[in-house]
Amino acid sequence: MPTKTLQRDLDIPLSMPGSPRWFSAYGCTVTGETHVEVFIAGSLIGVFEHGDRASRDVLLLGVSEDRTVRRGKLAAAFGVSAELLRQLRNKREVEGLESIVHRQRVGAPRKCTAKLRKRIEGMLDEGHTIDQVQRKLKRGRVRVSRALVGFVRSDWAMRGGLSKAPAGQVPADGVTVHEAAAGVGVQGRLAIEGTGNPPDSTVSARSEEADSNEPRTVVPTAVQDGESVQHAGVWLLLGLLDSWGIYDVAREAVGSHLRIGASTLRIALDAAIAAFAIGERSVEGVRRLRTATAAVLLRVRQCPSAPWVRSVLARAASADGGVRFHFGVAGHFIAEANARGSELRPAVFYVDNHMRPYTGHHTVRTGWRMQDRRARPGVSDYWVHDEDGRPIMRIDVPDHGSLTQWLPALADGLREALGPDARILVGFDRAGAFPEHLAGLRNTGFEFVTYERKPYPQLRHGAFDTTFADGEETIGVCDARCNLGKGRGRVRRVSLLMPDGHQVNLLAISELDPESLYRIARGRWRQENGFKHENQRWGLNQLDGRATVTVPPETVIPNPARRRLDRAIGMARHQEGALRCKLEAATKRETRAALQQQINEVVARRDTWIAQRPHIPTHAPLMDTDLAGKLVRHPGEYKMFLDTLRVALANAESELAALVGPLLPRSAEAKKVLANLFSAPAQVSVSRIRITLTLTPAGTVPELDAISVFLEQCSAMNFSLPGDNSLRTLAFRLSTPNNS
């Protein structure tokens, strides 16, 4: 979903595959085959060749002087670590720029000479594995590590080396690149390429060390026949997501610069989707797939572990891959939501924030969580849902910015996705019903509907001159205009008289009739229900990545000293009131004297704190508070990648529920029936043109009858498995006593 507005307003890179790697709102690097170009505000400021460290370092240090640039993103855009950037800055301050230009390479000389590389590639062409190559070199008195051989094999595979290997070495799915990082491991590969660790690298590394039986290479295989293949019902989801192009978007978002093979990404996505589908709400649920038939389910020689899947997806999310994946999928669902509308009616979207609480030991920003009626540590996500309550996209806001701050940017993103002439109606709650915000949406051409904030005039019953029916009840309507004040103009005010006599006011800019506006405003509860379902079913509130980064010291935050002072003043006032009540009820002179003494002490402390209050600002730079060096945040790229899968799965579930629901005796249980179907085992039969799954789900007789018809409908859609180059269609049928 390309959008310059979101890049500028949200300060997050939304570039598509092959485009710039952003390090600020206006700065980026563009990597070519032989060189890297550096742009600031659209102007080329420098170019350096691959391997030219001196030119790269000089440009890197020059750009790092801009205080608006985030040095972590800058280092990633230049392909170096943040630690190297810090060392370069310190070295320049102490020894000058000349020391940077003539900086010597540290460490031992490279072992992989051109002659050794040619020898290793020759063995790989003969079909030898990494371990075989290492043993042959060892017998020839050449000692190399398995990681080095795996790194050479990676480059060899990227140049099409697998196509020259013997037939037994190439997967039957026709994959040209598979497990190029064999022997290196994801963590070692990231260190070699200088791209940094994935968001949960600490946990991944520890888990990989603990799992000593896990192979370093997960090799794909062709689709195979199988009896009682556990969880085979998830192939229904895989086929639907592949038909939507979700796998293609993921491959384009990751690109070729991360060296993740197509089969590697496909296996990791399959495993994560299958884990989510069977009820596991995090990637750790991949371990629940390790059954005797897991190799058939995931089309691999051996089922991957949760650390392996987590590491691959973390790499895919790095270098803005998660952002590109998220907004690429969002563009598809925005277009689908617009297509479900009509020419006479605008496309309707709901925007609201959802606060994800954090219960770990780190210090993070706090935000208001309405469900708890209090502020809690965590992250606020701003979500966009369509009119049916299906999730579309989100952005994470660690500083808990207001709805009026983020809604215009999200609305601009919707417009860029649908085109400048598209009619868009945005629904939101009272948190965005401020005059200046409403006037801004109206002036930029957006339609909206929201609830008016109290106080507003209560109309007499005679003012509601029209009505419309809501089921068996009648709602009165008074359609008028409302002045926003201060020269901001007017908006439409629709006052509704509810059946219980309660008055509700809607503010809108739209030509829709009052009944339609009422149903759109009431339909926003689908978004609230969606938050609850997406958390309970798909794990929306999962932390996913546990790594943290320090908040920049110049960040302005609410001053904790002022918050403590205000709380102390409030407690003093409460204590004073309680003591005065006791004083009023006391009869003994000694008791009254003691209480009066306590009151005087409390009042003295309170007055001292009130006198200090004007000198303590409400907001202050982090470096000037006691949270300096303690306040952290969780990088969002890895979670955004997983949340994109959750968005796609929630939409797929809704799409399938709309098919199976009318067939069930209780349509409200459609998603429960689908959950049983996804976890169902199946007999898999593979032919040249078709893959037949005979499923055995749990269910009552009426539910099984409905599932049988539903599977016939799914078979007619001609799904195929992602990564199956033969494009064999999936045929689903229900197991019966005759064919089980």
Give the mean pLDDT of the chain. 85
Q: What's the whole-model pTM score? A: 0.73
Q: How do residues 534-564 score in pLDDT, each as one tens digit? A: 999 999 999 998 899 999 999 999 999 999 9
Instruction: Give the tens place of pLDDT for each residue, 160-172.
Output: 555 444 444 433 3
pLDDT higher than threshold 70 for residue 105: no
Q: Quick check: 681 pLDDT over 90? A: yes
Question: What is the percent of the chain where pLDDT is above 90?
Answer: 64
Average pLDDT over residues 606-632: 94
* Exposure b/e, 364-385, CB count within 10 A at least 16 = b: bbbbebeeeeeebbbbbbbbbb
Give residue-wise pLDDT tens across range 88-104.
888 888 888 877 877 76
Domain ranges within the chain, ordered by starting residue: 4-101, 114-226+234-322, 323-538, 550-633, 641-734
Judge whether residue 202 has pLDDT over 90: no
| C-alpha neighbours within 13 Å on the C-beta side of residue 701 | 0
Cβ atoms within 10 Å of 694's Cβ, excluding its own: 19
Q: Which residues contact 536 (CB under 8 A, 6 or more apart)?
A: none
- Whether pLDDT at 141 is above 70: yes
25, 30, 58, 62: which is closest to 44 by C-alpha? 30
pLDDT of residue 297: 96
Question: How much of the chain, in percent, has pLDDT values that exceed 70?
Answer: 87
Q: Which residue has the higher pLDDT, 122 or 304?
A: 304
Stated as kind and residue range, the H or E segment containing 580 is helix 560-585
**pLDDT by residue (tens digit) across 56-84?**
888 888 888 887 787 888 888 888 888 88
Amino acid identity at 509: I
Give the contacts of 577 (CB within 8 A, at least 6 positions apart): none
Confidence of residue 157 (pLDDT cuts 50, 70, 90): low
Which of 288, 247, 240 lies closest to 713 in space, CA to CA? 240
CA distances from 409 to 122, 258, 656 (A): 54, 30, 32
Within 10 A of 20 (CB to CB), how many other CB atoms are there? Answer: 19
Considering only 158-167, 421-430, 609-618, which range has the smallest mean pLDDT?
Answer: 158-167
Which superfamily is assigned to 323-538 in CATH? Transposase Inhibitor Protein From Tn5; Chain A, domain 1 (3.90.350.10)
Query: What's the pLDDT band for 9 if we cut at 50, 70, 90?
Result: very low
Q: pLDDT tens across 286-341, in order?
A: 999 999 999 999 999 989 999 999 999 999 999 889 999 999 999 999 999 998 87
Asked whether the predicted pLDDT for residue 665 surpasses 50, the reply is yes
Give me the pLDDT at residue 159, please. 57
196, pLDDT greater than 90: no
pLDDT of residue 69: 82
| Structure confidence at residue 151 (pLDDT) | 78
Pair of tokens at residue 401: 């910015």
CA distances from 448 to 5, 335, 428, 490 (A): 20, 19, 8, 13
